[in-house]
Amino acid sequence: MNVRTALLAILLSAPALPAAAATILVGPGESVTRIADAARIAKDGDTVLIRPGTYKGDVAVWAQKSLTIRGFGGRPVLDADGRDADGKGIWVFVNGNYKVENIEFRGARVADGNGAGIRFEHGSLEVRDCVFEDNQNGLITANFDTAELRIYNSSFSRAPREPGRLHHLLYVGHIKSFVLEGSRFHQGYQGHLVKSRAGRNEIRHNLLVDGPGGMASYELEFPEGGVAVVVGNVIAQSADSPNPIVVAYGAEGSRWAENRLLMAHNTLINAGWRPAWFARAWSDKLPPDTQIVTRNNLTVGLGGFSVSLPGDHRGNFPLPGGAIEPESLDFTPPAILRGRVDKPDGPLGELLTPRAEFALPIGTQPLAPPASWAPGAFQSHGMVTRQPAVR
């Protein structure tokens, strides 16, 4: 074999190099004007950039194995306008590693009542700085126990008022893990603000305040147990809620091998006159080794908290109704509470210590460890305004 023949044989046997990732621009005046066309032509590893504007009925199924989708120059609005992708919602992600940033989803409706702004099937999905409004479900997942979902700095609101339907603002199915941070939920109706069946849940530094006109049932539910770490959140039930339970754990028993409910430095508010269960665990339906730990939570209004929970409870304080008004968005702890609790300690100490605080309108700000700790989600002040990101 001569040198030329040998070189040709090597080239023919070498694995093909992957094509370079592309950036696809979508919007008025671009070569691609419809999001559905971008979903059709995008390849694995590409980035889809969507210009601002309202995209009516421009629904899509994304089947790539890896993809980043981002609104830029402003937030594009996806209005379902009576259309849906695959009978499931505005966008459907099939099976891959996806990142979605700075997109607004509105008006998802499908025949079975589960129309979603995003339907996430399998793989991993990260959502940042997105808005979900007036959808039958803001975001809903399928049930694959290897799937992972992370949501940061996003807003979910205005569940449709359809009698007899349970529309959850966020519904997480039987997946491996779920992270929710720096996000805001309000104006639910009959369904829950957040419902998760995931095996592991990290719910940190969010504003789950149903607000005026809200009629959500549970504000936060883990119906099948699992690990639920709930730290540094404001969770407030409206006076019009049809259900007295704010945080629910294990109402349907347990699906997962490990079951722990860990709640620390949350501000839990009942805005109504009916007594609330600020947190309830169905011990008779959960394994006997289920661990429940609460530290330094603040409850406001009529209701019970740790007295209704088995487990280990320290540093939790009640305040009477009206001591903090959720509509004001001012959650400053009364001065009398400062220094009344210690930083969470022991083997769970770092896990239960808040690292940030929610900041308006969406997002978080870092929390420097205070000289003295107060119960609840905020320390020296009640709320600050987060500066919007420059895009």
The H or E element containing residue 163 is none
Question: Which of 142, 167, 202 lies at the terminal end of a domain, its last residue?
Answer: 142
Q: Is residue 3 in a domain?
A: no
Q: Is residue 168 in a domain?
A: no
Q: Is residue 164 in a domain?
A: no
The total of other beta-carbon atoms located within 10 Å of residue 256's CB is 18
3-state SS assignment for residue 204: strand
DSSP letter at 169? Answer: S
Q: Are residues 200 and 86 in the same domain?
A: no
Q: Are residues 117 and 191 in the same domain?
A: no
Extract the tokens encoding 153.
């700095």
* 215-242 average pLDDT score: 96
CB 49, CB 42: distance < 8 Å: no
Q: pLDDT-derived band of residue 7, with 50, 70 and 90 as boundaries?
A: very low
Q: Is residue 199 in a domain?
A: yes
- pLDDT for 391 equals 54
Extract the tokens encoding 68.
């980043």
Q: pLDDT-derived band of residue 3, with 50, 70 and 90 as boundaries?
A: very low
Q: Are residues 334 and 233 in the same domain?
A: yes
CA distance 296 to 266: 8
Domain span at residue 185 reads: 177-391
Question: Which of 115, 142, 169 lies at the terminal end of a domain, its last residue?
Answer: 142
Q: Are residues 202 and 127 in the same domain?
A: no
Lowest mean pLDDT among 8-12, 39-43, 171-175, 384-388: 8-12
Q: Are residues 119 and 213 in the same domain?
A: no
The sheet with strand 77-79 has its strands ordered as 54-56, 77-79, 104-106, 131-133, 155-157, 184-186, 207-209, 234-237, 267-270, 298-300, 317-319
Q: Are residues 183 and 76 in the same domain?
A: no
CB 225, CB 256: distance < 8 Å: yes
Q: What is the pLDDT of residues 242-267, one digit of tens each?
A: 999 999 999 999 999 999 999 999 99
Q: Is residue 10 in a domain?
A: no
Q: What is the pLDDT of residues 294-335, one digit of tens each?
A: 999 999 999 999 987 999 999 999 999 999 999 889 998 898
Direct distance between the N- and C-terminal alpha carbons of the chain, in angstroms, rounded to an integer = 58
Q: Are residues 234 and 117 in the same domain?
A: no
Q: What is the pLDDT of residues 33-87, one digit of tens each?
A: 999 999 999 999 999 999 999 999 999 999 999 999 999 999 999 999 999 999 9
Q: Are residues 267 and 380 in the same domain?
A: yes
Residue 271 has pLDDT above 60, yes or no: yes
Q: Is residue 147 in a domain?
A: no
Q: What is the pLDDT of residues 345-391, one digit of tens each?
A: 999 999 999 999 999 999 999 999 999 999 999 997 777 677 655 45
- The whole-chain average pLDDT of the chain stands at 93
Pairing between strand 194-196 and 47-50?
unpaired
